[in-house]
Each structure stands twice: as structure tokens, then as C-alpha cells.
Structure 1
Amino acid sequence: MKVEQIYTGCLAHGAYYIESAGEAVIIDPLRETKPYLEKLNKAGVKLKYILETHFHADFVSGHLDLAKATGATIVYGPMAQPDYDVYSAKDGEELKVGDVTIKVLHTPGHTMESSTFLLRDEAGKDHAIFTGDTLFLGDVGRPDLAIKQGELTKEDLAGYLFDSLRNKIMPLADDVTVYPGHGAGSACGKNLSKETVGRLGDQKQFNYALRANMTREEFVREVTAGLTPPPQYFMKNAMMNKGGYDSFDEVLAKGNHPLSPEEFEEIANAEEALVLDVRDREEFSEAHIPNSIFIGIDGQFAPWVGALIVDIKQPILLVVPEGRSEEVVTRLSRVGYDNVLGYLEGGVKSWKESGRETDAIANINADKLEELVNAGKAGRILDVRKPTEFLAEHLLAADNFPLDYINGEHFSALDRKGNYYLHCGSGYRSLIAASILRARGYGQLVNVRGGWNDIKETGLEKSDYQCPTSMSQATVDKAVEAVL
């Protein structure tokens, strides 16, 4: 028996490959099928099942393309009912794969169709659980993504999750390995560990949601506390996973297409396409196509695209680092942004050489910001971190302007002629925010390199530190409402 975790850091996502006696299973695959097909071909095994723990909201699964390429059967647990052919397994049903067995455990709570897959080895011993978004290391799945108006509330789902954990997962042996769907960085939970593989016994001991003496009421209260609104693309991805989507090969062929500056500009105007620049932040700051938006490929790229580009069908044109166009189109498709129309061949250099104009955004270091503040010349400072980060500790001179909610109505609080200094934790999010503000007509913008990581080492006056994890739901809600 072979078990392999295939972890994708930018989405904090774990897919899984199980192989036994010439047969294989893949659990929760990403959109692109090539890496899985290469693995299967190299091992010389047949893919028997593609197991889906639930309708994912934070990425588009590759189950449909993978099933078409291999003939494997897509398996969901009870209550899934997608708009394509699958095998709907019953709670407790066992699936044979080579010499091992996979038992389906229906574990509703994160969503109603959520299931956990229990792997038993050749001797029939419980070996591992693949928990999807039911159980993470250090946390459990958020119960507010599958609420239905007039039918289910997040409290209802949290109650189902309590029962699933107590009745299906916690009775398993302590030495069972836990393979979760996500790690730290995912918006599918609140307190996910940086570790991506663990022991169930450790979770019973250290995971707040698995306390042995925890009442249902305590569980519901703690699991639903501190939930900020989910990224806007979550429901759209869930619908794509439930209803189906275009072939990834077609999406890649359309998007990974070089365009001359003339073609690029013509398509941008004709299609009202968004120009998305994914290069290094210093390169973008120095020169970029006017009105383009920066979301760097080397940061939390796909989640920020999903959070900020509201229309998932938005036509997109790319400015990419040389040789990385296929990677960018692929990563966009993972979160459902399939309408990429091509990329600028030769990048900004070819744009300049064609005689077209560029724009720029100034950068300064934290010590320069300190100098400007002390001299009364810093204008207005915008801290674009999350409300919880801001409440934990911030510059007294700064206002919270969270990137997460930049598409809200709080632009009315800004003056297009104002002078703004933006910072986040490291300088990545603040440059995204600056690019959006610039595209909307705000001219005097300065990004602070190093962000709060460097600013906190200066002598600028700061708020007292308060641990954000201790904040009540009411405090978080108030902070969010204040910026919407």
C-alpha cells in the first residue's frame, strides 16, 4: 500500500493518492489532470475511483476531466446529487482498492454531503482518515458555507458537525493518521495548523473542537465564533463543482496564447478585459500598463484573485513573468477563472517598445515612513490588513482599509486627490490595494515595503497588543461592519 499527499501551498490544499496491487484512488484532485496521469502511468496502475469529500468551495476540483481521461468512477458520499453521473456511496459502505479497503463515513456539518474516507490496510486495520473539510489539524471546517435561507443555519450545521465528530471520527483509534483537506492559509477554517499530516490522538488532545467534555452548546458557540464573511468566489466554485465546467485543456489552450501589444490592446478594449499583472512587486511598481491590477503570482495568488475579481466570468488578459504563462492560467482555473484571453508577449518591455504608456507606483521603506510621519508629511496612512490584524496592533496614525473588503462602498471615505501611504503585513497586499485604487482614479499612492513586519520595529506610536484569537464574534462583526 502506498499513500501520498500532494500538497499545493498557494491553496493550502491536500489531494491524496492511494495505490495497492495495481489499482489506485485519488482524493480531491486539483483542476489540472496531467500530474495525476503521469503518476498513474509511471506506476503502471489503473485509477479505480476518484473520491470527493464534498463540493469544494475554495477550488475547482479536477474530478470530471480525470474521470474522462481514465474511466475511473467519481464517488461522493450520501446527499451529494451533482448534475453529472457519479457513484453515491452509502454511509458505512466499503470500497475495495487492490488489497486495501476504503470505508465511507458520512460526516455532515461543514456541508451536508461531507464525507470522510477511512483507509484500512491489507490486514483490515484502520490506517488513516481523509477528512476533507470536516476535521483539520487544530480546527474543524467552518459551518457557514452551506446554509440555506429558511432551512439551515450555521448553528444547525455546527450541530451536525458535533455529531459527526463524536460519532464517526473520535471513536477511532488514536494511532489513526489524519490527512486533512487543508492546512494553514485556507479560509475554510479559523485556526488551521501549519502541519499537514497528524495523529488522531493528538487532535483529541489538542484540537479545541475535540475536547472530550465539550457540550454541544459549547461546540456550536466556539465553532461559529469569529467567522468572517467567506470569500465571494466560494459559492461560485461550489456550484461549478456541483454542476460541471469546461475542460481544463480547452481553458489552457485559450488562455496560454501570446498576444502582440497591438492585439493585447485591441482585445482589452473590445472585450472590456481586466489586465492582471502577476509579476514581481518591484517590477510592477516600476512600470505597468495603466489601469492594470497587481496580484503577484508568488504570493497567495489564487485566493486573492477569487476574493477580489467579483465576476468569475470576467475576461482577463495577463502580464506574466517570462515562461510562466501556463502556470498562471492553470492557477486561475483552479479557482474557476476560465476566461483568460491571452498574455502579453514580451511583457511590459514590448509594450514600451511599441510606444505605449506605462504607469508606476512609488515604494518607500518603513524608516522613511517614520521620517515622514514625524515631519507631518505622511498624508493618510491606510492599513489594508484584516480587521482582526488591525485590532491586534496597529499604528495609531493609521486607518483600517482592509483589502478583503475593498470592493465595498467605503471608497466614499477617500479623496481622489488625497495622498495615501498603504501598508499590510509585508507589502504584498498593500500593493494590490494600491493598484486597485490607482485603476479607480486615485493618483497619489505610496506603498510601504516590508509592511507591518518592518513598521513595528520603528519608533512610531502603536496601539497596545491584544491577542486576536481572544476576540468575541461581536468584536469581529463590529470590526467588519466598520469598514463595509
Structure 2
Amino acid sequence: MKIEQIYTGCLAQGAYYIESDGEVAIIDPLRETQQYVDKANKENAKIKYIFETHFHADFVSGHVDLAKKTGAKIVFGPGAETEYDIHAAKDNEEFKLGNITIKVLHTPGHTLESSTYLLIDENGKEHAIFSGDTLFLGDVGRPDLAIKSDLTKEDLAAMLYDSLRNKIMTLPDDVIVYPAHGAGSACGKNLSKETIGILGEQKKTNYALRENMTKDEFVKEVLDGIAPPPQYFAKNAMMNKVGYDNFETVLKKGDRPLNPDVFEATANNEDALVLDVRTQKEFVEGHIPNSIFIGINGGFAPWVGALITDLKQPILLVTPEGREKETVTRLSRVGYDNTLGYLEGGITAWENAGKDIETITSLSVNEFYKDFKSKNINILDVRKDGEYASEHLQGDNVQHFALDYINDNMNAIDKNKTYYVHCAGGYRSVIAASILKARGFNNLIDIAGGFGAIKATDLPITDFVCPTTL
């Protein structure tokens, strides 16, 4: 028996490759599926099953493509309905894989069809669970993502309480826990940085598995401090339910070099968004007018999903050399399949073609310190609500809204005023400045290093502990 976790850091997502006696199961595969086919071929094994723990909201799974490539059966939990062929399993149904057994434990709560897959080894021992978003290390899945359900989040949280206590906590303490996500995922509040754990340890340390916890206490604690889900979550869940375009087709369309003239013409003719994924330093020093920055080296895919509201939006890319295919791939993982190509030769080719370049003023924290002390300046803090509540700069001219909700808050600031924009470290502030600049806010100054650098000064900071961190 072989179990391999295939973890993707930018999505904080774990897919799983399970093999026994020449037969393979893949659990929660990524959008790009050839890696699983290649791995099975290398082991002279055949992919028999594709198990989905639920309709994922934070990424587009590769189950549809993988089934077409391999003929493997897609298995969802009880009640799942799709527009493609699946096997909707019954609770406690068992699937033979070589010398081992995969048993379906229906664990609704995160979503209605959510299921945990229990692996029973060659000796009949309950060896591991693949818990999806039902149980994380340190947390449990948010209960507010069910597709088109009349149930409230309180109803789903109550279901999750029962699922955990009746299906998960009754298992032996030495069962290995393989969750779908780790720290950084928006599918829970306080996920551990660890990605593999032991059930007994979770029973001791995970607040949601507290032995004497009542259902009312569980519902209250699970729902406390949950921020609204990113706008793309429901759209990705629907893609996972109804199907999507073949990944290789999406990649071929997007991984296409365009010279500056063709790039510019395509942007104009297709009403395409120019997405610049280089570093924030490179972007502020020179970028294509009206382009948006979301750096590939940061939390790229989740920020794209949070900020670009139309999954069908035509996109043109400015990328670091050699990372074009990676960028198209990572966009497709969250459902952005309409990439039309990338700027061949990058920003240097654009400049050499005599085309316009714009910049954003970026000040060091020392320069900002001088302006703060000598001028009555306007400051825009785009960190998350919990970060701001915990500590922020004092002053009547300090404004805040989280970058996640920038599209809903532009009317809160004045295009005629100059704003010094900061986040925690400098990545999100440049994203915010690029979006605002593209919408006609031209008087923007980025604070390099963000609040982390500001804290090293003696500027006045409101400092208190926020009861919940979003």
C-alpha cells in the first residue's frame, strides 16, 4: 500500500494518490491531471477511482478531465448531483482497491454531500481518513458554503457537530488524518501549518472536538469570526458540479506569446484585463497603463478569485520569463479559463516598442515617517479586518477597508485626495494601488514594507487584542 499527499502550497490544498496491488485511487485531484496519469504509469498501475470529498469551492478539481483520460469512476458522497456521470455513494459503502478498502463515511456539515473516506488496510485495520473539509488539523470546515440549499449555516453547523461525533470521533485514536487543506485556506478559520496528523491528537487539541462540548456551543464557536466567503467560491463549486473545459485546451489557448502590437490590439479588441504577475517592486517601477498587479509569488490564485469577479473575463498576462505556463495553470485552478496569451519579451519589449509605461510612487518607511510627522496625510490600510482591529496607525485621516472588498468600497475614498496605502508587508498594498489606479485614483503612494516596517518606527499605533481574528 502506498499513500502520497500531493500538496499545493498556493492553494493550501492536499490531493492524494493511493495505490494497492496495481490499482490507484486519486482523492480531490488538482485541475492539471496528467501528473496523476504519469505517476500511475510509472508504477505500472491503473487509476480505478477518483474520490471527491465534496463540491470544492476554493478550487476547480480535476475529476472530470481525469475520468475522461483514464476511464476511472468518479465517486461523490450521498446526495451529490452532477451534469456528468458519477457514482453517488451510499453511507458506509465500500470500494475495493487492490488489497485495501475505501469506506464512505457521509459527514455532512461543510456541505450536504461532504464525505470522509476511511482507508482500511490489508489486515482489516482502520488506518487513515481522508477528511476533506469536514476535519482539518486544528479546525473544521466552514458550514456556510452549501450550493442552493434552504438550510442555514446554523443548520449545517449542527449537522457538522453530529458528523464529527458520530462518524469521526468514534474511530481509533491512531487513525491518520489526511485533510484537504492546511493553513492559508479560507475554508476554515484556524488551520494548522501541519498537513498530516493523528486523530487522537486532534481529539485533545482541536477546539471543535472538545469532548464535553454541547451542540449549541459548537455552533456558536464554529460560526464565530467567519468572514464572508470570497466571491469565487460559489462559482468554483458550480463548475465542479456541472463540469468545465478541458485543461489542456485552456492551457494551449493561454500559453501563447503575443508581440507588443498584437498584445495591445487584443487588449483593446477583446476588452481584456492585463494582469501583471511580476514582483510588486517591478510593477511599481513600470507597468502597462490600466494593468492590475497580483504577484505570482504571493497568494496568487485566491487573490485572483477574490478580486476578479467574472470567471469568463478575458485575461492577458505580463509574467516573469519562463513562468507563463505556470500562471495560466494557476489561473485555471480557480476557474479563470479565458487567458488569451502573454506579452512576449515582457515589459522590456513593451518599452522598446515605444509604448507608454506608468509607475506608482513607493516610499520607504523612513520617507513615510517624515511625511506623517510633517504633513496632514491620508492613510489607507487594506489589511484584513482582524489585522486592523488588532493594531493600526492612529489618526483622524486613517481609513480602512480590506483588500478583499475593495470593489465594494471605492466610494469611501476621494479621487481628489492623495492616499498613502499600506498592508502588512507590501504585497496587498500594491494590488490595491493597481486596482484603484486603473479606476481613476491617480494620487496613490505605496508604503514599502507595510505595517511590519511601520511598527519599527515610533509612530502612534492603536494596539489591542481583537477577540477574533478574521
TM (norm. structure 2) is 0.98
Alignment of 1:194-205 (within 5 A): 194-205=193-204
> Alpha-carbon deviations, 1:309-339, whole Å to 9, x = none?
0011001010011111100000000000000
The aligned amino acid for 1:39 is: K
**In the alignment, does 2:223 pair up with 1:224?**
yes
CA-CA distance at 1:399 after TM superposition:
1.6
CA-CA distance at 1:375 after TM superposition:
1.3
Q: Distance in 2 between matches of 1:12 and 1:158?
A: 23
**In the alignment, does 2:455 pair up with 1:456?**
yes
CA contact under 8 A between 2:135 and 2:141: conserved in structure 1?
yes
Q: Distance in 2 between matches of 1:399 and 1:178?
A: 43
Alignment of 1:315-394 (within 5 A): 315-376=314-375, 379-394=377-392
The aligned amino acid for 1:103 is: K
**Partner SS, residue 230 of structure 2:** coil
Q: Distance in 2 between matches of 1:363 and 1:201?
A: 50
**Partner SS, residue 167 of structure 1:** helix
Bigger shift: residues 66-75 or 396-405:
396-405
> Alpha-carbon deviations, 1:380-431, whole Å to 9, x = none?
11110011110011111332121011010x3222221211111111100000
**In the alignment, does 2:113 pair up with 1:106?**
no
Q: Specify the alignment match of 1:41 in structure 2.
A: 41
Q: Distance in 2 between matches of 1:123 and 1:416?
A: 69
Q: Specify the alignment match of 2:141 in structure 1.
A: 141
Q: Distance in 2 between matches of 1:305 and 1:2?
A: 35
> Alpha-carbon deviations, 1:419-460, whole Å to 9, x = none?
111111110000000000110111121111211111111101
Q: Specify the alignment match of 2:52 in structure 1.
A: 52
Q: Specify the alignment match of 1:188 in structure 2.
A: 187
Q: Specify the alignment match of 1:441 in structure 2.
A: 440
Going from structure 1 to structure 2, the CA distance change for 1:257 and 1:373 (only over 3 Å counts) comes to same
CA-CA distance at 1:357 after TM superposition:
0.3
CA-CA distance at 1:465 after TM superposition:
2.2
CA contact under 8 A between 1:389 and 1:468: conserved in structure 2?
no
The aligned amino acid for 2:389 is: L
**Partner SS, residue 313 of structure 1:** coil
Q: Specify the alignment match of 2:32 in structure 1.
A: 32
**Partner SS, residue 241 of structure 1:** helix
CA-CA distance at 1:364 after TM superposition:
1.6
Alignment of 1:36-185 (within 5 A): 36-146=36-146, 148=148, 151-185=150-184
Alignment of 1:209-220 (within 5 A): 209-220=208-219
CA contact under 8 A between 2:380 and 2:421: conserved in structure 1?
yes
Q: Specify the alignment match of 1:479 in structure 2.
A: none
> Alpha-carbon deviations, 1:7-55, whole Å to 9, x = none?
0000000000111111111100000012112211111110010000000
| Gap runs ≥5 in structure 1 | 477-484
CA contact under 8 A between 2:37 and 2:47: conserved in structure 1?
no
CA-CA distance at 1:194 after TM superposition:
0.7
CA contact under 8 A between 2:22 and 2:46: conserved in structure 1?
yes
Runs of 4+ that moved beyond 2 A: none
The aligned amino acid for 1:130 is: F
Q: Specify the alignment match of 1:314 in structure 2.
A: 313
Q: Distance in 2 between matches of 1:382 and 1:424?
A: 9
Bigger shift: residues 219-228 or 236-245:
219-228
TM (norm. structure 1) is 0.95
The aligned amino acid for 2:318 is: V
**In the alignment, does 2:300 pair up with 1:301?**
yes
Q: Distance in 2 between matches of 1:371 and 1:195?
A: 42
**Partner SS, residue 156 of structure 1:** helix
> Alpha-carbon deviations, 1:291-311, whole Å to 9, x = none?
000000000000000000001
Alignment of 1:237-256 (within 5 A): 237-256=236-255
Going from structure 1 to structure 2, the CA distance change for 1:187 and 1:395 (only over 3 Å counts) comes to same
The aligned amino acid for 1:185 is: G
CA-CA distance at 1:148 after TM superposition:
4.3
| Gap runs ≥5 in structure 2 | none
Alignment of 1:406-425 (within 5 A): 406-408=406-408, 410-425=409-424
Calculate the aligned-residue CA RMSD, in Å.
1.1
**Partner SS, residue 285 of structure 1:** helix
Task: Provide the identity percentage.
Answer: 66
Q: Specify the alignment match of 1:5 in structure 2.
A: 5
Going from structure 1 to structure 2, the CA distance change for 1:147 and 1:325 (only over 3 Å counts) comes to closer
> Alpha-carbon deviations, 1:340-363, whole Å to 9, x = none?
011010011111111100100121
Q: Specify the alignment match of 1:269 in structure 2.
A: 268
> Alpha-carbon deviations, 1:35-82, whole Å to 9, x = none?
112211111110010000000000000001111111111111101111
Q: Distance in 2 between matches of 1:109 and 1:392?
A: 31
Bigger shift: residues 410-419 or 281-290:
410-419
CA contact under 8 A between 2:147 and 2:234: conserved in structure 1?
no
The aligned amino acid for 1:263 is: V
Q: Distance in 2 between matches of 1:248 and 1:375?
A: 55
CA contact under 8 A between 1:255 and 1:343: conserved in structure 2?
yes
Q: Distance in 1 between matches of 2:354 and 2:234?
A: 42
**Partner SS, residue 221 of structure 1:** helix
CA contact under 8 A between 2:147 and 2:237: conserved in structure 1?
no
> Alpha-carbon deviations, 1:360-381, whole Å to 9, x = none?
012122222112111126x211
CA contact under 8 A between 2:134 and 2:160: conserved in structure 1?
yes
**Partner SS, residue 371 of structure 2:** helix
Q: Distance in 2 between matches of 1:464 and 1:453?
A: 14
**Partner SS, residue 130 of structure 1:** strand
Q: Distance in 2 between matches of 1:393 and 1:52?
A: 41
The aligned amino acid for 1:273 is: A
**Partner SS, residue 390 of structure 1:** helix
Bigger shift: residues 105-114 or 140-149:
140-149
Q: Distance in 2 between matches of 1:97 and 1:148?
A: 34
Q: Distance in 2 between matches of 1:368 and 1:401?
A: 24
CA-CA distance at 1:147 after TM superposition:
6.3
CA-CA distance at 1:468 after TM superposition:
4.3
Q: Distance in 1 between matches of 2:355 and 2:72?
A: 51
